[in-house]
Amino acid sequence: MTAPPHEAHPAGPGRALPDTQQGMRRRNLARVMHTVSAEGPLSRAAVASRIGLTRAAVSTLVDELIRTGLLEELGPERPGRVGRPGSALAVSARGPAGLGAEVGVDHLAACAVDLRGQVRARAVRYGTHRGRSPEPVIEQLAALVRRVVAEAEGEGLWPAGLAVAVPGLVARDARTVVRAPNLDWHDADLSALLPADIPLTVDNEANFGALAELWLGEGTPRDFLHVSAEIGIGAAVVVDGLLLRGTRGFAGELGHVPVWPDGPACPCGGRGCLEQYAGEKAVLRAAGLEPGEDRVGLLAQRAEAGDEEVRRALRAAGTALGIALTGAVNLLDPEAVVLGGALAGLAPWLLPSLRDELARRTAGPACPVSVSELGPEGPLLGAAHAVVRAVLDDPAAVAERG
C-alpha cells in the first residue's frame, strides 16, 4: 500500500492500461471477496449467480481464495435446500487483519480488525501530546501497535497493513504530516517511526472518520460531507463512495472557509475563518470557560444544566457552521451532511441554529444534517477498515505477500 486507498481515481476507458486475462482474474477475485463479505455465508453457486460468472469460473477463484486463507468453508449447508448441498463460504476470521491507529491530541489508540469487520484487539493510552515532538509520541504509538499485533497474532491473524489517523494535513505520499497545528507538528515523516515490515498509510482523521461513516454507518449515502472536530474543524468530502482528496491531499479544510471575512485574524493567515467562531478554543472563550481536560464534556454538561452563556456560544457556533456549510453545499451538492467527532456530542445545542441558517440560505429543500453514531471511535475504526477494504479490493496482492 504505497498510495492511500479509496481515492477518486477511476480507471476509465480513457486510460491506456492493458486489459489482460491476468487483470480480469484479479478483479474477479475482488468481486468474489466483496460478494461473500457483503452477503455471506454463500454457496459457490450463489456467488456465481450474484456476480454473473459460471459456477466453474467461480470455483477456480474460490479455491485460490481458500488456499491463501482469505475465504473459509463452513462445511455442508443444512439440508432442505434445492439441489446438491454445497459448502457455504465465509470470509476468513483468521489470516489478514487491518491495523488502525490514531494520534489524538489527548490520546493514542490502536486496534486490529479482521476481514469480517470484527475488532479483535485494541489498546488505548491517554495523555496530552500538545507541543511534544513527533518522535516520542510515535514511539509510544508503535508500542501500542506492537501490543495489538501480538494479541492479534495469538488469534491466528497477521497484519495486512497499518493505517494511522492524525489530526492534521497529510501529504499525498500518505506518510508525511505536513501540518498538525494542535500538535505543533510540521513535515513529520511517520514512515521511519512505525514498524517497517507492515505497509503504512497515514491520513487525516476526518478522512478516516468519513470512511467509517460510509462503511459502518446506518444508511449513510454515497455522497456526503462529513464534518468533524476535535480542536480544529475538519471535513471530508465523499463522492460516490470515494474520498475527494485534492491535489496536495488537503481537501476538506472547512475550518478555514471564511465566514465573516472581516472577522478576527486566524493563524492560517486569513480572517473570520470558521474556526474563529466554531473551533473549540473560540467556543470556550465565548462561553467564558478556560481550556482544560475534557472540554467537550464540560461544554455539554454546562449546556445540559441550562447555562445560558454556554448555550449562546454553541448557538453562535452553529450559526457559523451553517454559513460555512451553505457555501460547501452550494459547491458540492451532497446528499447529506454528517456531524462527527466532538461535534456529535454538542449536536443538541449546535444543530437548531445550524439547520436554521442552512434552510434560510437555500432556495429549495435544505440539505439534511445528521449526527454520527460512531462518535469519537470513527477515525480509528475507519483506519483499520481501510486496510481491510484494501484486502477485499485486491486479494491477489495480499496472497502474493501473505
Cell matching residue 221: 449515502
Instruction: Check residue 219 for interaction with its own copies (CB under 8 A).
Output: no
> Rounded to whole angstroms, how far apart are CA atoms 55 and 61?
10
CB of 312 to its own copies, least distance (A): 18
Instruction: Check residue 268 for interaction with its own copies (CB under 8 A).
Output: yes
Instruction: Check residue 399 for interaction with its own copies (CB under 8 A).
Output: no
Interface pick for its own copies out of 13, 79, 219, 306 (rule CB under 8 A): 13
In eight-state DSSP terms, residue 255 is G
Instruction: Please answer whether residues 338 and 220 qualify as being in contact, where contact means their C-beta atoms are separated by less than 8 angstroms.
Output: yes
CB of 27 to its own copies, least distance (A): 5
Instruction: Check residue 241 for interaction with its own copies (CB under 8 A).
Output: yes
Q: How many other CB atoms sit within 10 Å of the CB of residue 82?
A: 5
Site for its own copies in 19-48 (CB under 8 A): 19-20, 24, 27-28, 30-31, 34-35
CB of 82 to its own copies, least distance (A): 23
Give 79 or 269: the residue with its C-beta nearer to its own copies. Answer: 269
Instruction: Check residue 9 for interaction with its own copies (CB under 8 A).
Output: yes
Site for its own copies in 48-107 (CB under 8 A): 50-53
Give 130 or 360: the residue with its C-beta nearer to its own copies. Answer: 360
Instruction: Check residue 223 for interaction with its own copies (CB under 8 A).
Output: yes
Strand partners, 235: 227
> Rounded to whole angstroms, how far apart are CA atoms 338 and 367?
10
Cell matching residue 340: 462527527
Interface pick for its own copies out of 271, 281, 312, 315 (rule CB under 8 A): 271
Cα 295-299-303 angle, rounded to 5 deg:
170
- Contacts with 122 (C-beta within 8 Å, 6 or more apart), sequence order: 109, 110, 111, 112, 148
What x-and-dash track marks residues 172-201 binding its own copies by CB under 8 A? Answer: -------x----------------------
Interface pick for its own copies out of 261, 292, 293, 306 (rule CB under 8 A): 261
Site for its own copies in 338-377 (CB under 8 A): 360-363
Instruction: Check residue 228 for interaction with its own copies (CB under 8 A).
Output: no
Give 262 or 308: the residue with its C-beta nearer to its own copies. Answer: 262
CB of 174 to its own copies, least distance (A): 15
Site for its own copies in 296-325 (CB under 8 A): 323-324
CB of 13 to its own copies, least distance (A): 4
In eight-state DSSP terms, residue 368 is P
Q: Which residue has the cell 491495523?
A: 99
SS3 content of the chain, % helix, strand, coil (to 5): 40, 25, 35
In eight-state DSSP terms, residue 341 is T
Give 241 or 352: the residue with its C-beta nearer to its own copies. Answer: 241
Cα 285-288-293 angle, rounded to 5 deg:
75
Cis upstream peptide for 41 (omega within 30°) = yes
Interface pick for its own copies out of 73, 173, 184, 393 (rule CB under 8 A): 393
Give 138 or 182: the residue with its C-beta nearer to its own copies. Answer: 182
Number of residues that bind its own copies (CB under 8 A): 72
Instruction: Check residue 128 for interaction with its own copies (CB under 8 A).
Output: no
Instruction: Please answer whether residues 252 and 235 qualify as being in contact, where contact means their C-beta atoms are separated by less than 8 angstroms.
Output: yes
Cell matching residue 117: 469487520
Instruction: Check residue 332 for interaction with its own copies (CB under 8 A).
Output: yes
> Rounded to whole angstroms, how far apart are CA atoms 383 and 328?
25
Query: b or e along 1-22 (b: 16 or more beta carbons within 10 Å of the residue's beta carbon)?
Result: beebbbeeeeeeeeeeeeeeee
Nearest to 201 by CA among 240, 160, 151, 230: 160
Site for its own copies in 134-153 (CB under 8 A): none
Instruction: Check residue 116 for interaction with its own copies (CB under 8 A).
Output: no
Interface pick for its own copies out of 117, 146, 250, 312 (rule CB under 8 A): 250
CB of 16 to its own copies, least distance (A): 5
Q: How many helices (H) and strands (E) does the chain have?
A: 12, 15
